[in-house]
Chains A and B, each alone.
Chain A
Amino acid sequence: DSGVTQTPKHLITATGQRVTLRCSPRSGDLSVYWYQQSLDQGLQFLIQYYNGEERAKGNILERFSAQQFPDLHSELNLSSLELGDSALYFCASSVAAGGLTDTQYFGPGTRLTVL
Chain B
Amino acid sequence: GEDVEQSLFLSVREGDSSVINCTYTDSSSTYLYWYKQEPGAGLQLLTYIFSNMDMKQDQRLTVLLNKKDKHLSLRIADTQTGDSAIYFCAESTVTGGGNKLTFGTGTQLKVEL
Give chain A's interface residues, CB within 8 Å of chain B.
2, 4, 31, 33, 35, 42-43, 45, 48, 50, 55-58, 90, 92, 97-109
Q: B-side binding surface: helix, strand, loop or mixed?
A: strand
Number of B residues with CB within 8 Å of any CB on chain A? 29
Q: Which partner residue on chain B sits nearest A44 by CB separation? A: B103
Q: How far apart are the CA atoms of A48 and B102 in the complex, in Å?
A: 13
Determine which residue in B88, B100, B104 has the highest number of CB atoms from chain A within 10 A of its CB, and name it.
B100
- Within 8 Å CB of A107, what residues of B? 42
- Within 8 Å CB of B45, what residues of A? 2, 103-106
Within 8 Å by CB of A43, from B29, B44, B103, lies B103
- Within 8 Å CB of B59, what residues of A? none
Query: Given A56-B98, A58-B100, is A42 in contact with B105 using a C-beta cutoff of 8 Å?
Result: yes
Within 8 Å by CB of B43, from A48, A90, A102, lies A90
B5-46 CB contact bits vs A (8 Å, 1 = yes)? 000000000000000000000000111010100000111110
Cβ distance B45 to chain A, nearest Cβ, rounded Å: 6
B84-109 CB contact bits vs A (8 Å, 1 = yes)? 00001010111111111111111000
- Within 8 Å CB of A90, what residues of B? 42-43
B41-A57 in contact (CB<8A): no
Q: How far apart are the CA atoms of A99 and B88 in the complex, in Å?
A: 20
Query: Given A43-B88, A106-B35, is A98 in contact with B42 using a C-beta cutoff of 8 Å?
Result: no
Query: Given A2-B44, A100-B30, is A45 in contact with B96 using a C-beta cutoff of 8 Å?
Result: no
B42-A48 in contact (CB<8A): no
Q: Which partner residue on chain B sits nearest A48 by CB separation? A: B98
Q: Which partner residue on chain B sits nearest A109 by CB separation? A: B42
A56-B97 in contact (CB<8A): yes
B98-A50 in contact (CB<8A): yes
The 7 closest A-B pairs by CB, nearest first: A56-B98, A55-B98, A98-B98, A98-B99, A43-B103, A106-B43, A45-B100
